[in-house]
Structure 1
Amino acid sequence: MHMASETLPDPAPVPGPWRTIFLNGLWKQNTGLVQLLGLCPVLAISTSIINGVSLGLATALVTALSGGAIAAVRDHIPSEIRNPVFILIIAALVTCVDLLINAYLHGLYTVLGIFIPLITTNCIVMARAEAFASRNPVRASMLDGFSMGLGLTLVLAVLGAVRELLGRGTLLSGAELVFGPAGKAMTLHLGSGASPGFLLALLPPGAFFGLGLLVALKQWHEARQRQQTAATIREIAT
């Protein structure tokens, strides 16, 4: 008996490991919106886009380099002293970043202040070292660290933009700290009047409200995606 063959649709492509690592850090396991790690710099520095993005990129650099360094020496570190060695590696890299920012971007260095050295104790950096870098190869660990830091930078950028816009009526204020005198022309003044801003947005409660709103928006978006996926599956099944 001959059975007619049924043509099945091609399966959806499976994301490669590099893409999966990147998307986990940037969105699915975002440190600021999902894991809720590193809240101290998120709440304290996100008063403007420039401040938030600058600290976020510094954190991403440290997380990527520390992940690669720890992955490279993980087989040579006794388990009894693993955490102190991890902290020593992270502290050395943070010191290098701190000195570089102080040397080449001194104005930005004075604004970010103590939060650059505090990257050493940022739970994001240590968490990725323990959870990923200590168990995976060098390149994957560097990508994981960079994507996690980039996810934090994205949160700092969005939160900083909202707080700066509501609090000062500007965007990209302080760009001259990074780009020199030419950066002043990048600042956008969107407010009008003598007091264009909403003071609460620049205070710690404003940071809490803004971050809570971003977390809620992400959860709403993912819940909507799950509903759409479930509806598509039901349509195919019927």
Structure 2
Amino acid sequence: MVLEVNQLTRIFDNQNGVKNVSFDAREGETIGLLGKSGSGKSTILRAIAGLDNGYTGEVLISGESIDGPHPKVGVVFQEARLFPWLTVLENVTFTLKGNEETNNKFARKLLKQVGLEGAENLYIKELSGGMAQRVSIARAIVAKPGLLLMDEPFSALDAFTKMQLQDLMLDIWRAEKVTSIIVTHDIDEALYLCNRIIVLSGKPGEVEREFIINEPFPRDRGSERLAHMKKEILQSLQIESVRI
């Protein structure tokens, strides 16, 4: 297993957080964490990222318990956290060590994959929101993480750009064989990207249900089977009277 989460519990004073959450992720798998606001999705991601150790339970990366940020874990946040004084290429290679020529070559390859070929020397102020998030994705993957964490990475983007980046992530995941955990409020996004979906409910959040999606990639966004599964997820979240 790339990731094992066992009985993770982290409860805050306002009762937000998670309780007794357990799941795993295998190599090359994409797991979606889905739930209403306050159900603890980002709390789980922060624990896996090693950014919060105030929990009980266990988080294992490749069989090892973590006690802080792990070199095998990459993170893409909701907003692109880039350095404005560096170029696109410099942002992507910022954390890399070793041969500069080799690093730049791989970074350029990833920038081409995310549709930013020719933009290597631009500064962040010259990029659109969608372009900046593409840089953020390339920077997370350039270090060749065994596990990629994504916290609502497309929520601030317009619908068309969002769909473009979803397709882009599928291409990169297949090419680089990245194992990913993605936090989202968007059921359609989870159904389009994920192999499995963990539905969280309540405060603190607990695992309500797990959905296994056997549809092959690339998926049809208008699939009747996915529409039926969306209805099941809405029922799990106790959202009534929603038309698909």
**What TM-score does the superposition give when structure 2 sets the normalisation length?**
0.25
Q: TM-score w.r.t. structure 1 length?
A: 0.25
Looking at secondary structure, tell me which structure has more helix per residue.
1
Q: In terms of Rg, which structure is larger? A: 1
Higher strand share: 2
